[in-house]
Amino acid sequence: MFNSIRGRLSEKRADSICVETGGVEWELSVPARSLDDFGKLDEEVRVFTWLHHYEDGMRLFGFPSAQERSVFHELMKVEGIGPKQALRILSGITPADLDAALGSDDLAALQRVPGVGPKLAQKMLLALKGRLVLSSDRDAGPGKAQGEWTDVVRALCDMGFDRKAVERRVGALAEDLPPGPERERELFRRALLDLSSGGA
């Protein structure tokens, strides 16, 4: 429904911010760790959003980048993690540090995050290892797949392919594709065929 809100940063609280735009002030729940990433009060800010509609009302969540919102979405795919818990996790660890902990099977680092015990840490490791799509990943393949081809990478990761393998193949294949309106679709098709046949 909403992708982002752009307006004046009117207030910062412990775990939320307010953004005024078009005469309306929006309150958004945000990761406490990310408060400084939204900039200074009274400056213009763009906040990437996710709307949670539940039985008794609605709650708007905000993130300083589309990448952090994507990690929030991935966290909610883990059994036992809802929106509030996902936000709490992102308040305790950066997306990059989370990805590093998952990549190295570092259960101890995951358990240091507030609200994450041994069982939940194990679930996170099983569900999320190799699945987070971070634009700052140094292992992205040729062509910087995380920039232009984020949607292709995310779609393939959602199908269960390893993220780093997806990034390598998408980056390599993108270099050989001619420009045109069907380029993204053709890239997805070729990468899917390659990965399905065991290409890396």
Q: Residue ranges of the domains in the chain?
A: 4-63, 66-128, 145-196
Neighbouring CB atoms inside 10 A of 162's CB total 15
Work out the mean pLDDT of the chain and round it to a whole number: 86
Lowest mean pLDDT among 120-124, 145-149, 157-161: 145-149
The hierarchical CATH code for the domain 4-63 is 2.40.50.140
d(CA 170, CA 152): 8
**Listed residue (57, 38, 56, 39) closest to 48, CA to CA:** 38
Is residue 130 predicted with pLDDT exceeding 90?
A: no
pTM of the predicted model as reported, rounded to 2 decimal places: 0.69
32-52 burial, b at 16+ Cβ within 10 Å, e below that, comes to bebbeebeeeeeebbbbbbee
Is residue 136 predicted with pLDDT exceeding 50?
A: no
The hierarchical CATH code for the domain 66-128 is 1.10.150.20
As given in the structure block, the two tokens for residue 69 are: 């919102």
Torsion of the alpha carbons at 94, 152, 137 and 159, rounded to the nearest 10: 70
- Per-residue pLDDT, averaged over 178-186, amounts to 78
In this prediction, residue 139 has a pLDDT band, given cuts at 50, 70 and 90, of very low
Is residue 93 predicted with pLDDT exceeding 80?
A: yes
**Listed residue (98, 107, 176, 173) closest to 137, CA to CA:** 98
pLDDT recorded at residue 135: 57
- Per-residue pLDDT, averaged over 19-39, amounts to 94
- Per-residue pLDDT, averaged over 47-51, amounts to 94
